[in-house]
Amino acid sequence: MLRIKRVPTVVSNYQKEEGGEATRPAGGCGRNCLKTCCIQEAKLPLYAFKRVEKASMGKKKKDLALQECGEPPLAFLDSLILGEWEERMQRGLFRYDVTACETKVIPGEYGFIAQLNEGRHLKKRPTEFRVDKVLQPFDENKFNFTKVGQEELLFQFESSDDGEVQFFPNAPIDVDNSPSLVAINVSPIEYGHVLLIPRIFECLPQRIDRNSFLLALHMAAEAGNPYFRLGYNSLGAFATINHLHFQAYYLAAPFPIEKAPTKKIAKSNSGVKISELLNYPVRGLVFEGGDSLEDLANIVSDACICLQNNNIPYNVLIADCGKQAFLLPQCYAEKQALGEVDAELLDTQVNPAVWEISGHMVLKRKKDYEEASEANAWRLLAEVSLSEARFEEVNALIFEAIASFELEVKAETSEEVDAAKSKARPPKAMVAGTQECLVLQ
């Protein structure tokens, strides 16, 4: 059994510290949690999104959520997330001020983004974390999101009963129907960093299913902001809490992975295009389009379920207002456990999860930030990727799992592949960053 010492990120003020539970406000059990002792009579804003059923759509009518995602509109969900998040910041609920973290775009073709975030390295507790099991049963005795304080919750996120967007500023929390909740991440990576927790009281382990992935796509679509992306880390791919959740935040710049060239592999009968990343340090698949969010959700979630069932750790990035999903199997934690990662990379203490793989490098040491370069980022992420042979094996498993979607396989010519590859080239060597970097405001 592979085990590796982990230093998990603290996402809630109520995770156990070495000395025991953090002090919580009085009321109920005195910890203001989501258990029966404290949840009675509790209320929280409710955002009910419009869900368009595919069966009710005509051939020419597309899901409203798949409209073009242009410049960020003043969307209500957008303002709700940011308004509630900023209110929690003013109340001092975060462990540090993420807006004070230095951030820069690293010179190069991809524009990797480096952030110096020393706050995420503080007040953490070492734990034993298994990396050899993507699927592990939910453990009530370990930290989970029913133990967060109610003040960390922002709002409930559910589909509307009448097919129209609705907002209730003070709705009861229906424990019996297990609502999906949005909470702050108290150790934020970026502005507006939140957690989406599907069906929280069902206490689901960290594993994707069709409904949970569709919920995440709806959140991206409802926000309607191209700077708002959602991410998912499986166990074994640097998820630190075994309770089903997605992360999301705002970053006013393209992720490098979004700019990488791709090669089209196939297209489903519902219009979902499947491509392979080219000339990017981490091998992965890109799913996009479809006649509805449900079409995209079904095919991506089935691919994720395939990886889970075959014990393959992976990360997912949801971009382009819910119209695009990157699926990235990885093996960095396994390599760590086997002692196959260079000590220089281990010394950075960077755990390459979905954000790092996508090109947002969250660095914990000033030295690494000052020496940040595209070559350094590439070197780290290359250790995350499956080998070409292993990636082909994993792809074969995925395509077998999604065969029911009647895929039309498109074999591109060598000229088309060469043209796509020529759009970007990996850096030649690892060197310390010496060029002036663009600082993000």
CB-facing half-sphere around the CA of 353: CA atoms within 13 A? 20
Please give the backbone phi and psi of residue 356, each rounded to the nearest 5 degrees, phi first: -65, -45
Model's pTM, two decimal places?
Answer: 0.87
Give domain status of residue 147, yes or no. Answer: yes
Mean pLDDT value of segment 216-220:
97
| Percentage of residues in the chain having pLDDT higher than 70 | 79
Write the CATH number for 380.
3.30.428.70
- Which among 299, 313, 296 is positioned nearest to 206, based on CA atoms? 313
Between CA 413 and CA 72, with CA 286 as vertex, the angle to 5 degrees is 125
Q: How many domains does the chain have?
A: 1
48 within domain boundaries? yes
The neighbour count for residue 97, using CB atoms within 10 Å, is 11
pLDDT given at position 4: 39
Neighbours of 227 (CB within 10 A): 19
- Whether 360 sits among the annotated catalytic residues: the reply is no
E strand or H helix that includes residue 194: strand 194-197
Count other C-beta atoms under 10 Å from residue 349's C-beta. Answer: 13
Q: Distance of CA 79 to CAs 76, 84, 222, Å?
A: 5, 8, 11
374-414 per-position pLDDT tens digit: 999 999 999 999 999 999 999 999 999 999 988 888 655 55
Residue 402 domain flag? yes
Q: How far is CA 127 from the centre of its chain?
A: 22
Token output for 234: 């499986």
Hey, is 310 helix, strand or coil? coil
Q: Is 268 left (phi over 0), alpha (psi -120 to 50) or beta?
A: beta
Confirm whether 335 is domain-assigned: yes
Q: Would the pLDDT of 13 be above 50?
A: yes
Taking CA atoms, 327 is separated from 78, 115, 231, in Å, by 25, 24, 10
- Whether residue 420 lies inside any domain: the answer is yes
Q: Is 35 a member of any domain?
A: no
320, 275, 325, 317: which is closest to 295 by C-alpha? Answer: 325
With a CB cutoff of 8 Å and minimum separation 6, the contacts of 267 are 273, 274, 407, 408, 410
Q: What is the pLDDT of residues 94-152, one digit of tens each?
A: 999 998 999 999 999 999 999 998 866 554 444 445 768 999 999 999 989 999 999 99
Torsion of CA 153, 158, 162, 164, to 10 degrees: 80
Is 14 among the domain residues?
no
Q: Which amino acid is it at 375?
A: A
Q: Out of 193, 218, 243, 245, pick the active-site residue.
A: 245
Range of the domain at 126: 43-52+65-439
